[in-house]
Amino acid sequence: MNLVIFGPPGAGKGTQSNFIVKKFNLHQLSTGELLRREIKNQSQLGKEISSIINDGKLVSDDIVSDLIEKYLSDDKFKNKLIFDGYPRNLAQARRLDNLVKKYDQKINIVLKLSVSLETVKKRISERRVLEKRKDDDEEIAIKRYVTYEENIKPVIDFYKHLNLLKIVNGEASITEINSEISALIEAI
Ligand code: AP5
Ligand code: MG
């Protein structure tokens, strides 16, 4: 099974992916984490993207598609991927659709975690104390939220049309969301 999880910053994509990884023996592919690793390692790619990420904007579709193709083409992860934070716009949704077909796989379920901007601000400011992510400054977190809102509508429509979209209330407690997601996955 391959699964997509998306939602605004602080929606709980990473938190819920961790839980799904353990319970369903899948592999989490967070494009945000892969990109932050490039920045940390000061790779050529890392140098190119750090100002974009720290400004709350999206890096280019080509860069993230290349990253995810590495995983989709690896037999070790075949039908075992959680796409955390990908796709984020319609072009990426189409790319993902083509790539899964190219590697003879499919997306089985798409989870959208919905949370308000107020919740985003609260969660990000709390996480900032612990994790010190550079883009967790309140102003940048708001920019990330706006970037999300600007791009996501056609992605939602794309997955609705394919009958894959499940909307999950991201405002509930972590364990309540765990249970809701488990039930949705088990029902596939
Ligand atoms: P990315 O790393 O994906 O960041 P994001 O989308 O802003 O999401 P976060 O990781 O901040 O939040 P999350 O939903 O994972 O929440 P979490 O579980 O940590 O992307 C970063 C950047 O990389 C982007 O801005 C962009 O520049 C670039 N990028 C990435 N993907 C890209 C793509 N496809 N295309 C182009 N560019 C891309 O939870 C947050 C906090 O809340 C935690 O402290 C957690 O403990 C807490 N929490 C979680 N759930 C709950 C709950 N239910 N109740 C209470 N607290 C909770
Ligand atoms: Mg995350």
Q: What is the pLDDT of residue 71?
A: 98
CB 175 less than 6 A from any atom of ligand 1: no
178 C-alpha vs ligand 1 centroid, how far in Å? 17
Mind listing the pLDDT tens digit for each residue in 33-74?
Answer: 999 999 999 999 999 999 999 999 999 999 999 999 999 999
Mind listing the pLDDT tens digit for each residue in 153-166?
Answer: 999 999 999 999 99
Mind listing the pLDDT tens digit for each residue in 165-176?
Answer: 999 999 999 999
Q: What is the pLDDT of residue 40?
A: 96
Distance in angstroms (rounded) separating the CA atoms of residues 156 and 152: 6
Instruction: Give the residue from 137, 153, 177, 140 showing the smallest Cα distance to 87.
Output: 153
Ligand 1 pocket test, pick from 13, 126, 148, 181 with the greatest ligand atom count within 8 Å of Cβ, gives 13
Question: What token pair was written down for 69?
Answer: 């193709």
pTM attached to this predicted model: 0.98
Q: What angle do CA 128, 46, 126 make, to 5 degrees?
A: 5
Q: What is the pLDDT of residue 157?
A: 98
For the chain, percent of residues with pLDDT exceeding 90: 99
Which atom of ligand 1 lies nearest, measured to the CA of 15? 18
Which atom of ligand 1 lies nearest, measured to the CA of 17? 18
Task: Tell me which H or E stretch contains 29.
Answer: strand 27-30
pLDDT band, residue 89 (cuts 50/70/90): very high
Q: What is the pLDDT of residue 124?
A: 98
144 C-alpha vs ligand 1 centroid, how far in Å? 10
Nearest CA to ligand 1 atom 40: 10
Q: What is the pLDDT of residue 120?
A: 97
